[in-house]
């Protein structure tokens, strides 16, 4: 039976476009905040994971590449990867790294540090990215946040693609920080009723 | 006639990603309240696609008993 397609089934295109835009102009990285705020909104106000289940372009992209295009080995995900310890540990790590992005933004905004036109992959490797930004186009702090946030988004995409190739297409979802956080919120809401 | 097998979710492991619901050809799988996936045994045809797709390996096929 062919499933009926909805507009949101094509949001994997949005994910591909988002990363492409960031390659040409880093300021588009700000659009990634939608992927941060929408899942939280659904979880906090709606008590559901509608974003993960229907709107997550990254999950859809992994299904597209790993499932339809068979870029995944489709092996079972190691159990530690979906254990509570790892999931919540990774969530905390991710939030600390996001906090670091905000802190760097604040340093640049206050004049204590200068803008670094680079993307940091896997929180370690600095990749020059200066072509994607024209100096002075926006306040330095806004550009610094773009570089930092895009680093976070690109790193998580790469991790997602690596585990997609090694294990199941949506293995990333088992420890996705947003997924873990929103499921935790939903469980808390349910327990409170 | 209903299939002899149906899919069951281990709620303690499910991450509620919705991958099962996105592939279920019968629309029998859904994420309940953002907490875990649920599969309607009456609608499930036991094809096993959800179990194959689940990244957390928390879906297994079970044999139907008389009341399922």
| Chain A residues touching residue B21 (CB < 8 angstroms) | 53
Distance from CA of A155 to the nearest CA of B (A): 20
**Dist CA A113 CA A125 (whole Å):** 19
Element of type H or E holding A109: helix A84-109
**Dist CA A87 CA B23 (whole Å):** 24
Name the CATH architecture for the domain at B5-63.
Answer: 2-Layer Sandwich (3.30)
Per residue in A60-72, pLDDT (tens digit) is 999 999 999 999 9
Q: For residue A124, what are the CA distances in angstroms to A99, A119, A132, A193? A: 16, 10, 20, 43
**Dist CA A130 CA A44 (whole Å):** 38
- pLDDT for the residue numbered A4: 81
Per the structure, how many domains does chain A have? Answer: 1
CA angle B29, B22, B31 (to 5 degrees): 45
CB contact under 8 A, B55 and A48: no
Distance from CA of B33 to the nearest CA of A (A): 5
Give Cα A77 to chain centroid, integer Å: 20
Task: Name residues of chain A where pLDDT drops below 70.
Answer: 1-2
| Chain A residues touching residue B25 (CB < 8 angstroms) | 1, 3
Interface A-B, measured as beta-carbon pairs within 8 A, has a size of: 87
- The boundaries of the domain holding residue A17 are 7-192
| Chain B residues touching residue A63 (CB < 8 angstroms) | 19, 22
Residue A154 lies in a domain: yes
The domain limits of chain B are 5-63
Residue A46 lies in a domain: yes
Per residue in B19-68, pLDDT (tens digit) is 999 999 999 999 988 999 999 999 999 999 999 999 999 999 999 886 65
- pLDDT for the residue numbered A177: 97
- pLDDT for the residue numbered B1: 53
CB contact under 8 A, A173 and B17: yes
- pLDDT for the residue numbered A111: 95
Q: What is the largest CA-CA distance in chain B?
A: 32
Residue A68 lies in a domain: yes
CA angle A2, B16, B37 (to 5 degrees): 65
- pLDDT for the residue numbered B3: 77
Residue A1 lies in a domain: no
Q: Quote the percentage of chain A above a pLDDT of 90.
A: 94
Q: For residue A29, what are the CA distances in angstroms to A73, A77, A97, B7, B26? A: 31, 30, 16, 40, 38
Residue A126 three-state SS: strand
CB contact under 8 A, A63 and B19: yes
Residue A56 lies in a domain: yes
């Amino acid at each position: 039976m062919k499933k009926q397609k909805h507009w949101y089934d094509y949001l994997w295109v949005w994910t591909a476009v988002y990363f492409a835009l960031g390659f040409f102009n880093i300021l588009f990285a700000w659009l990634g905040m939608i992927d941060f705020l929408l899942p939280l909104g659904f979880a906090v106000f709606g008590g559901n994971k509608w974003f993960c289940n229907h709107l997550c372009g990254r999950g859809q992209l992994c299904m597209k590449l790993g499932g339809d295009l068979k870029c995944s080995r489709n092996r079972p995900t190691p159990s530690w990867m979906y254990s509570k310890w790892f999931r919540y540990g990774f969530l905390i790590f991710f939030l600390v790294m996001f906090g670091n992005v905000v802190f760097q933004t604040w340093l640049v905004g206050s004049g204590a540090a200068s803008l670094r036109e680079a993307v940091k992959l896997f929180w370690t490797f600095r990749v020059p990215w200066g072509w994607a930004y024209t100096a002075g186009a926006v306040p330095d702090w806004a550009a610094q946040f773009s570089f930092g946030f895009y680093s976070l988004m690109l790193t998580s995409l790469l991790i997602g693609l690596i585990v997609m190739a090694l294990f199941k297409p949506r293995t990333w979802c088992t420890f996705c920080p947003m997924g873990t956080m929103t499921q935790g919120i939903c469980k808390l809401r349910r327990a409170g009723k | 006639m209903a299939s002899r097998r149906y899919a069951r979710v281990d709620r303690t492991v499910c991450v509620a990603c919705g991958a099962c619901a996105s592939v279920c050809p019968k629309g029998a799988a859904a994420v309940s309240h953002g907490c875990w996936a649920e599969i309607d045994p009456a609608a499930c045809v036991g094809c096993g696609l959800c179990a194959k797709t689940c990244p957390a390996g928390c879906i297994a096929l079970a044999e139907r008993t008389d009341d399922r």
